[in-house]
Amino acid sequence: MIAARALLVVSLVVIAAIAIWGVVDAPGLVSVASVIVDEYFRSRGWFLMLTVTGMLFFCVGLAFSRYGDIRLGADDDRPEFSTASWIAMLFAAGMGVGLLFWAVAEPLTHFDFAKEFTIDPVAAEQALVTTVFHWGIHAWGIYGATALVIAYFSFRRGTPMLVSAPVTYLFPRERWASLLGWLADFMAIVAIAIGVGGSIAMGVFQVADGVDVLVGGSGAGPWLVGIVFAVMVASYIPPLMIDLGSGMSRLSNLAMLLAIGLVVFVVIFGPTEYLLNSILGTFGQYLTNFIPRGFETFTFFDDDVTQQFNSWTLTYMVWWIAWGPFVGVFVARISKGRTIREFVLGVLIGPTIFSVIWFGAFGGIGLYETLQGTGELARQAAANAERATFALLERMPFPVITTIITIIAAFLFIVTSVVSAAFVLGTFSTGGDPDPKPRIRLIWGILLGVLGYAMILSGSMDAVKKLIALGALPFVFITVVLMVCLLRALAEEKTLAEEKTS
């Protein structure tokens, strides 16, 4: 109890201090974050890529090992959700507003960089493959490994849904295990809070620019960003005071349905044949590249290439790690009753295929406009990433309707993410309470809002990326410990089962 109270107090104080620093001196916070993150990427980028790729291999190895038929729960438990509904919820939880924000901007940004080194068709192809690599199976390997550990120990061993649970369960009498577990929960809280704060900033930028497009503006000013932020906070504060249960799930599913509707719209009303070829070709290139790319660190390239790799690939991998504990708890909760094999294949394959379709469609039409037209869309994406998706929709039929749908989807993704994150943070910071008190959830909701506002004040998505990376870096090492704990627990279970049958 004392340790839980200390964790709550320390985590609240640290997150509040970071949030206040960001509000009072955003440039100073960004500067410090940049120095630390840049040095880590320079000296430990290899370790980060090795860890991320190791988490993917860890998941695949378990799925096809002798442990693959172990259920996440009792042997007679069965899944609560259908496979289709389960995969839809996975994707909504794991990606959210980033899908809408980077749908067009990221492929065009990679294309603009790659065309300096090769011909335009190859640059376009590599731009899509790089984007899918960032959002594909490696990201879901991170989520899958984290969620698998939490789900196994929670449903199979009866522990609280805490990052520390595997360590304290396996080594109950060791003081070092208690200390490491406490630090693991603390680092998970910091990673989640800063990661969700960054997503709040991203969502506010996206929604504000969408509203600005609707009113015919040339760029969302600070006043509009402030209004959108205030409305968003006002929307997620009331749900923190009650247990909405399946209500939040329904809102997340609605946001996901709107996103699916948008991608179908783009394929049907865009250059359909071109986009279908884009999706298929990207999928084929990705299949042949994702394993080598998982070990690539661009050691022998110049500083421009290294900086691009650090700013995008390493930053994305850390971003997914930051969201790992939050998404892991959610994924674990909806996965009870599935075997490890079912879990891994569903988590890795379903969302990755959707990422290929999503970016193959939005990125494909963005590249089509750039290669066939004036290149204006690429210039807009370079100048204002959050406006790129809306700029694309303006070139298609029914732009007002699709812009409104995009705004609503982005708004729902953020609100549901913040509410869910406040619950998870409340659980982590109170020693595993599955239903933290409303005042604890409210405090975390307010702190997440302040963090989001601090990142908005930073003025750019590049700054937001640095801050998210700063919050997640310490948690990278915890992921390795969690995987080792799961392997030990699985080996013990199989050994006991074999002894009983012999």
Contact 106, 363 (CB under 8 A): yes
- The number of beta carbons lying within 10 Å of the beta carbon of residue 218 is 9
Contact 394, 369 (CB under 8 A): no
Specify the pLDDT at position 23: 84
Q: What are phi and psi of 242, to 5 degrees?
A: -135, 165
Residues 490, 69 contacting (CB under 8 angstroms): no
Instruction: State residue 95's pLDDT score.
Output: 67
How far is residue 465's CA from residue 38's CA, in Å, rounded to a whole number? 12
Fold of 2-501: Amino acid/polyamine transporter I (1.20.1740)
Residue with token string 């948690």: 475
Q: Which residues contact 411 (CB under 8 A, 6 or more apart)?
A: 203, 207, 232, 235
pLDDT at 245: 52
Average pLDDT over residues 308-332: 88
Query: For residues 143 and 216, which has the higher predicted lDDT (pLDDT)?
Result: 143
Enumerate the domain spans of the chain: 2-501
Closest CA to 190 of 434, 451, 462, 466: 451
Percent of the chain with pLDDT over 90: 33
Q: How far is Cα 323 from Cα 317, in angstroms, rounded to an integer?
A: 10
Least confident interval from 28-42, 71-85, 245-259, 319-333: 245-259
| Number of Cβ atoms within 10 Å of the Cβ of 216 | 6
Structure tokens at 181: 């577990």
β-pair partners for 71 = 339
Helix residue spans in 174-271 (DSSP H): 175-214, 222-236, 246-269
CA distance 176 to 173: 9
Candidates 439, 442, 138, 86; CA nearest to 252 is 86
What's the distance, Cα to Cα, between the start and end of the chain in Å? 42
Residue located via tokens 């199989």: 494
pLDDT at 79: 85
pTM: 0.90
Instruction: Express each pLDDT in 95-129 by its tens digit.
Output: 677 888 888 999 999 998 998 889 999 999 999 99
- In the structure encoding, which two tokens stand for residue 350, read together? 């379903």
Q: Does 502 score more than 90 pLDDT? A: no
